[in-house]
Structure 1
Amino acid sequence: MPRIDLHKLIHELTKEREIPGTSLGHVKHSYRYHPTTQGWFFFLLTFMIMIAATTSGHNLLYLLVCVFLGVFIVMGNMAVMNLRSLRATRELPMEIYADTPIPVEIRVINPREVMDSFSIRLREIPNRDNSVEGEVFLPLVEKGKEASKEYWLKVSRRGWHELHGLEMQTRFPFGFWERSRTILSQTTLLAFPRIFHTWREAKATLMLDGEFSGRRIGKGDELLNFRNYEAGDPIRWIHWKNTAKTDRLTVALFHHPENRQAIVTLRTRYPKWEGSSFEEHVEEAISWAATATVRLLEKGVAVGYRDETSQIPPASGENHKRRILTHLALVEIGWRDETEQPHAMERRSESRDIIYIEATPTGVRIDSGIHEIDLAGGAHA
């Protein structure tokens, strides 16, 4: 009879397994298996009954110890079987904002044909600085089917983040054993700056007054031109004052909102200040710059961006929004000596189509024009 190397066998049973085919990319599965606090109390109770049975010699106590140990072992095996062969998939959203919960759909597939899975908990594996949070609980995953549920993924700051994967846990059936499987999958995601619900003004408005450019016709409030009335034009389009002046029916054409342009100007170089509160104000200023960008684009305003080292010309659309937000997510704050002359960008511009944002030792200062654009609706987070 061939000899069995026990150490080699244990190593083969406990080593990390690679399971391809999940949508989490190239993943590695590692396992953990240990009693819970309730399990240790149950085991301690069994041990005390075993001591009582040994000292007293009662067969009923021996029988009770055997039943308890059998239940303890069976529950451990059921916890192992509960996670066996389960696969998890998830889809990350295209836009993630700092300090803002984002719904992420996760699907758990049970390919087994015999046993359902119960009480499955999945959570994001914490990264180095604990900047990523997310957890979901699935009470049942039927055999041969899949279960899906949304959970809230939250990142604490802007910039790049590493997602190490998911941890799948179960304490089925009675919570005496915890079986967990770590699905390792290295993924990076970019978190945009936080978007505030409303503008910081008391009436939740953003002040802007810029010159219109372009000839696109829309439903704005600023007059673009007149033309002769044509069959099919609504009666409300008729400009009666100009009709009386020219002695012919004319209709008024108005500027499209995208004909308005604005520049979001962010100060990124400051004299060195002591303390962490100023850095918090700088991050808040970056968030206000992102908020102004998103709100103006939602209102149809062509938005540009400028700081001491970068300039993005005004444009509109989702791709342009992501371009500005990506720059704001990765922008680095520079520090200068007190003797260094301020950059020309740091001085307030007299142009009314510029929203100027800078951090101060006491908070954030924002200067804009005098034309109100309501930003109360369409908040992201």
Structure 2
Amino acid sequence: MKHLVPRIDLHKLIHELTKEREIPGTSLGHVKHSYRYHPTTQGWFFFLLTFMIMIAATTSGHNLLYLLVCVFLGVFIVMGNMAVMNLRSLRATRELPMEIYADTPIPVEIRVINPREVMDSFSIRLREIPNRDNSVEGEVFLPLVEKGKEASKEYWLKVSRRGWHELHGLEMQTRFPFGFWERSRTILSQTTLLAFPRIFHTWREAKATLMLDGEFSGRRIGKGDELLNFRNYEAGDPIRWIHWKNTAKTDRLTVALFHHPENRQAIVTLRTRYPKWEGSSFEEHVEEAISWAATATVRLLEKGVAVGYRDETSQIPPASGENHKRRILTHLALV
């Protein structure tokens, strides 16, 4: 009795199963979606086992082995399609922080929305798409995103150097259900972010925090937090200026005077030009100097000191506040 042996073009089958496919998705503004898939190492072993059983079925002619090959191939293909369904229609959004510092992990919250009404999504991994110089890193794993709901989680975004960086978007991956296929959905969303210089946790000269000698350089009266002096109450002085404790002590109505914020000033000076430099670590030296300048700026502003900046080509007058801090850090990030 002759057994009918099906003709299978193995090369064509492998090509169809493993080739990368790009399926256009819904375009939301500048956001663009695409799918890619390929077998994992476990998937290749499973496919190799199926191929060996196929050879045994061809040489022996047992119909049971042919049936087993068909079952294995069917399971292999069905698992790949389940991985595609696992990622279908998922949406991801993230909120980038206003301040990002080089070589410092920053928590970023990401939300994954599953609008489907039938199927939950399992084992979802999201990561930042690498840019040209691989300067941006970030990855998060979500075990479950229930149907009709959203799941949120924080991941650590790390930028390796200061300056401008391109973010190409997120890549959504899954190996559901058994890890034989890896399906990835690329969410392209072009944006740029500016990374400020690295901030050191401790000051260079002391193991604690930055110390400032001669904190007050003037006697202007203002609305600061540091006490300057007391004087007798005069008509027209605000009631909130009255220092009741000192009034009870001196038996005279006295008011408290505070330092003007401009009494506390500091200039951070950065040297950016060197006549000669011997050695191969010049760039590292400059980067370290920029980081120390940024550290001094942040620490002094936290102490309430008005900070200015100066180098060989530019100068920023002393001031305080978050906007002024970002102005100096932006200059240091691009210097």
Count residues with an aligned counterpart.
330
Shift >4 Å, 4+ stretches: 1-25, 213-223, 229-252
Residue by residue over 1:313-334, the C-alpha shift from the partner in whole angstroms, topping out at 9 and shown as x without a partner, is: 11110000000000000xxxxx
Contact 2:18–2:39 under 8 Å retained in 1: no
Contact 2:25–2:32 under 8 Å retained in 1: no
**RMSD of aligned alpha carbons:** 5.4
Contact 2:219–2:263 under 8 Å retained in 1: yes
TM-score, normalization: structure 2?
A: 0.82
Q: Which runs of 5+ in 1 are unaligned?
A: 330-380
CA distance in 1 between partners of 2:187 and 2:41 (Å): 25
CA displacement at 1:116 relative to structure 2: 1.1
Judged with a 3 Å threshold, the aligned counterparts in structure 2 of structure 1 residues 199 and 256 are, in CA distance, closer, same or farther, namely farther
Judged with a 3 Å threshold, the aligned counterparts in structure 2 of structure 1 residues 162 and 14 are, in CA distance, closer, same or farther, namely farther
CA distance in 2 between partners of 1:87 and 1:301 (Å): 45
Q: Helix, strand or coil for the counterpart of 1:206?
A: coil
Residue by residue over 1:275-329, the C-alpha shift from the partner in whole angstroms, topping out at 9 and shown as x without a partner, is: 4412101101101111111111111111111111111111110000000000000
CA displacement at 1:12 relative to structure 2: 16
Judged with a 3 Å threshold, the aligned counterparts in structure 2 of structure 1 residues 111 and 14 are, in CA distance, closer, same or farther, namely farther
CA displacement at 1:62 relative to structure 2: 2.5
- Listed as ranges, the matches of 1:211-222 within 5 Å are 212=216
CA displacement at 1:14 relative to structure 2: 13
CA distance in 2 between partners of 1:144 and 1:244 (Å): 66
CA displacement at 1:95 relative to structure 2: 0.5
CA displacement at 1:175 relative to structure 2: 0.7
Judged with a 3 Å threshold, the aligned counterparts in structure 2 of structure 1 residues 36 and 193 are, in CA distance, closer, same or farther, namely same
CA distance in 1 between partners of 2:60 and 2:177 (Å): 33
The one of 292, 309, 314 aligned to 1:310: 314
Percent identity over paired residues: 99
Residue by residue over 1:5-59, the C-alpha shift from the partner in whole angstroms, topping out at 9 and shown as x without a partner, is: 9999999999999999999851222221111111010000011112122222333
CA displacement at 1:136 relative to structure 2: 0.8
TM-score, normalization: structure 1?
A: 0.73
CA displacement at 1:216 relative to structure 2: 6.9
CA displacement at 1:255 relative to structure 2: 2.5
CA distance in 2 between partners of 1:22 and 1:149 (Å): 24
CA displacement at 1:183 relative to structure 2: 1.3
The corresponding residue for 1:76 is 80
CA distance in 2 between partners of 1:303 and 1:264 (Å): 7
Contact 2:26–2:32 under 8 Å retained in 1: no
Residue by residue over 1:162-220, the C-alpha shift from the partner in whole angstroms, topping out at 9 and shown as x without a partner, is: 11111111111011011111111211110000111111123424243347367676898
CA displacement at 1:244 relative to structure 2: 13
Confirm or deny that 1:18 pairs with 2:22.
yes
CA displacement at 1:4 relative to structure 2: 23
Judged with a 3 Å threshold, the aligned counterparts in structure 2 of structure 1 residues 55 and 241 are, in CA distance, closer, same or farther, namely closer
Judged with a 3 Å threshold, the aligned counterparts in structure 2 of structure 1 residues 16 and 301 are, in CA distance, closer, same or farther, namely farther
Identify which range, 93-102 or 197-206, moves more after superposition.
Answer: 197-206
Judged with a 3 Å threshold, the aligned counterparts in structure 2 of structure 1 residues 97 and 185 are, in CA distance, closer, same or farther, namely same
Judged with a 3 Å threshold, the aligned counterparts in structure 2 of structure 1 residues 23 and 239 are, in CA distance, closer, same or farther, namely farther
Identify which range, 264-273 or 198-207, moves more after superposition.
Answer: 198-207
Residue by residue over 1:343-363, the C-alpha shift from the partner in whole angstroms, topping out at 9 and shown as x without a partner, is: xxxxxxxxxxxxxxxxxxxxx
Q: Helix, strand or coil for the counterpart of 1:62?
A: helix
Identify which range, 67-76 or 35-44, moves more after superposition.
Answer: 67-76
